[in-house]
Amino acid sequence: MDMTMVQLRKSTVEKLKKQKRYPRQTYDEVVNELIDDDVEILTPEELKEIEQGLADIKAGHGKSLEQVAKELGINAALENKNDIIVNGKKISGNASKLMDKGIYLQHGTLAYDIDNRLMPSALNITKDSVMEKATSILQHKKIHHQKIYNTLKNNFINNKDFRTEELSKYELMRAEDLAKTNYSVITLPTGYSLKNKGACYVERG
């Protein structure tokens, strides 16, 4: 990693110290967070959730997607903070957001198969980019999707208290409405624009 020396006034260093979100955060990380609008800033609540999640993992409550992939015979590795890579190509990613009223929204992907004709138009990228940067389970192992589902589910609920419930009529109606209005076509609604963020695209906002 290339590093250089930068001279700062003591008062500037004190200001940067106050911007640290945790004691061992480097000044380089602090400065990049301040100048890079693509960096996601975690709130104290999100950091607490992450700490609890790490404690659960250490206690054997569930497994990471990287571990699950290896159970399925796919040699995967974690890259950055949220991507699972196989042979240099992305097979899984995730993101999260703390919503109002303490609701924690988490979503993730695990590519089972890839349509190299549809994905470029859906993500607004070239076919060559898809073939160069993305991969899927079926490109490495011929595994039925039900086995994938069962493996993910069993590892997710391992050593956890949980319950399952049926969706209400209202929730089903809302899901159907969203499917028709937001997910029946691959084009974005009017007024939406995307900016490139590595292998992912994020909504401007």
What is the H or E stretch that residue 201 is in? strand 200-203
* Co-location of 35 and 48 in the same domain: no
* Co-location of 65 and 136 in the same domain: yes
* Co-location of 26 and 117 in the same domain: no
For the chain, the domain total comes to: 2
Decide if 135 contacts 91 (C-beta within 8 A).
yes
pLDDT of residue 203: 41
Q: pLDDT: is 33 or 136 the higher one?
A: 136
Asked if residue 46 is part of any domain, the answer here is yes
Q: Is the pLDDT of residue 137 over 90?
A: yes
Query: Among 161, 177, 196, which residue terminates a domain?
Result: 161
Q: pLDDT band at 130, cuts 50/70/90? A: confident
Q: pLDDT: is 192 or 53 the higher one?
A: 53
CA-nearest of 116, 118, 135, 123 to 69 is 135
What is the H or E stretch that residue 95 is in? strand 89-98
Q: Domain residues for 26?
A: 8-39
pLDDT of residue 36: 62
pLDDT of residue 174: 84
Asked if residue 67 is part of any domain, the answer here is yes
Mean pLDDT score of the chain, rounded to an integer?
A: 77
Q: Is the pLDDT of residue 168 over 70?
A: yes
* Co-location of 152 and 88 in the same domain: yes
| Rounded Cα distance, 148 and 24, in Å | 38
